[in-house]
Structure 1
């Protein structure tokens, strides 16, 4: 999921970044990849200011589990961007729901989510019960498990590879666990279809996939974070709260030729993100990274050493800071499913409210601090001379 973000160019609403021959991101600012519907404005899709004349909107009366009255979707369809006017109704509904969610009261959202979880809890029968508790010997490859059991920084660093500053990969999941997780997700999707349950998607940017916390894996994922991600994050990401992780958002995302193809340029709503490819066979879909930035500098240019493209390998994990700007190129064949764990630190988030300098982790803040020190040093030498 050298390239530069061009802050002087305005990105049209809802367009993913395009890449030129040099792999440059030329379409503007990264979006905030949040799991809340009321995230900052540029994570919300936009409608046209005027209706499209002559367009005959679809009717939605026969569609089940709509969030709003069918007539509302028909009326709003006239304001859809041109490339969506001929899209399937399901895609139009997904687009419009993401807009309407911005204006839904928080209490109503919480109520619907609670009812959704309760319906799954009382009606969904898992395919692989063993996935809902963490058995390290069945989940992790021996090299990763032994390094975590050792716990020393030396042992942990031996199993990881740093591809560019702040982007680490390591072998993590057993093939049998990956296969069972893929089966479980498909089993849940089939159940939801038969039960006429509208699946709540992981975030505002993915139209496919499911939140694993919602289907009963919350405890297992929390144990995974606390016992197996915290040791690594504490060593690699202490400056962004890696040693104080205490909450998570766990989900899977799916990419294929008939589903989501790519993922736009964005930052995550996390302090540390774990991204593990579960499979299947696929071509394309490379992740691209463009450096860690604070809110003030999120649209700044990237330096050559910050630029990375990475091809997923099933079972292999990527660990990076949530504020590391990234995206995914379009998949060109097959299907790819990834397990994502956004790890959060309430302590770091609280402390960040009172900070003004983020040079310990923002690449642009660090560069500007070094430049200020250089100018000050030159000034002192000139005075001394």
Structure 2
């Protein structure tokens, strides 16, 4: 059995713990489901790949991602491997199996439950700052507006916009101011106000236990979608043309929080996105920098890392497949706005989570950004 490594990095970026797992396999045995369609989408219906129901189950206690298709496959591929990393008793194995099955059930119910949460929040929640739900130019830093304006010009080159960003050679991780301090303060107050309510909250993903899905809170149509299409897509067109930067037609947006007693850090991973924007909203915190390694396609026994410190109101723009993590915070609390931007033009060819041509499952809203490609026939040439 071929094995591949995952890594977890300490604050000093010196000690690396290696976790070994079997390779990803095609998700051909996923349960076929048709989910209700609702929500907004740029150009018609969006889908998830069927591997969503089999691949990338995260076991936090062991810092590993696993594939689950059935009990027999899971036992054959993982029981011996997991024993090497502390899962040595039948009780521990049964706990792992129960955790994976619980996550599988959550995924099957996720889209319908998200739709129900959105409806409940829409009817019962009273925003603290209603104005932040509709994107306004006044929310942006002046430098960001200049950056966007230049990016929209048809004759602008990537070299022309480098004056607006800080980046490290060959890294393609770009930092630039995005929002004003005033907006970030209002936005965090709104998120905190919702967190303090007794309304249901969906977690952003299996690796973050604390945070808010912004589509459930009602930010998609008036805020995130115009931010992606009108402001971020012109920038990504120049900086990431090889990753569908000019055709980012869907997204997943959420806020994550890090503080003592809750999530402190984030393990080394890559995003289910073509391009990611990560904006530090602020609050008082110490440490917790992001670190970047290699693209996920690059396999190295001892990868090198580059650290990027968070600066409130500033965003980091990077390729979704660029592996990264977050080091632990020492003090305080940090809020980050994360936008996973997806291009169906890119991911329709190869699912980034299973490395296969995607098998489409109909879903709610943007799903995971896949679309059904329509084949056309040239009637003039058809016989």
* Both proteins in one fold, TM over 0.5: yes
Which residue of structure 2 lines up, in the alignment, with residue 379 of structure 1?
Answer: none
Cα distance in 1 for residues equivalent to 2:349 and 2:95? 41
SS of match in other structure, 1:17: strand
Deviation, structure 1 residue 172:
1.2
Evaluate the alpha carbon distance shift between residue 49 and residue 349 of structure 1 in structure 2; reply closer, same or farther with a 3 A threshold.
Answer: same
Aligned to 1:351, what secondary structure does the other structure show? coil
Deviation, 1:19, is 3.1
Q: CA deviation at 1:51?
A: 4.9
Contact 2:127 2:190 in 1 (8 A): yes
Match of 2:68 in 1: none
Q: Which residue of 1 is the match for residue 177 of structure 2? A: 171
Alignment of 1:320-359 (within 5 A): 320-352=318-350
Aligned residues: 296
* TM-score where L is the length of structure 2: 0.69
1:245 paired with 2:248, answer yes
Question: Is 2:154 the partner of 1:158?
Answer: no
- Residue 280 of structure 1 is matched in structure 2 by 283
Equivalent in the alignment of 2:34: none
1:221 lines up with 2:224 in the alignment: yes
1:74-121: per-residue Cα shift (whole Å, max 9, x none)? Answer: xxx99548xxxxxxxxxxxxx977750314573x33222211111111
Q: Is the 8 A contact 2:273 2:341 kept in 1?
A: yes
Match of 1:293 among 293, 296, 304: 296
Quote the Cα distance in structure 2 between the aligned partners of 1:248 and 1:29.
31
Q: How does 1:103-182 map to 2 (within 5 A)?
A: 103-104=105-106, 106=108, 108-136=109-137, 138-151=138-151, 152-153=156-157, 154-164=159-169, 165-182=171-188
Residues 20 and 26 in structure 1, CA contact (< 8 A), matched pair in contact too: no
Aligned partners of 1:280 and 1:335 also within 8 Å: yes
SS in 2 for 1:163: coil
Structure showing greater radius of gyration is: 1
Partner-residue secondary structure (3-state), 1:150? helix
Q: Flag structure 1 segments of 5+ consecutive residues without an equivalent.
A: 1-6, 53-76, 82-94, 357-385
Q: Which residue of 2 aligns with 1:210?
A: 212
1:186 paired to 2:192: yes
Contact conserved, 1:44 with 1:99, CA < 8 A, in 2?
no
Tell me if 1:38 matches 2:68.
Answer: no
Per-residue CA distance 1:39-88 (angstroms, 9 max, x = gap) = 62453557957455xxxxxxxxxxxxxxxxxxxxxxxx99548xxxxxxx
More helix by share: 1
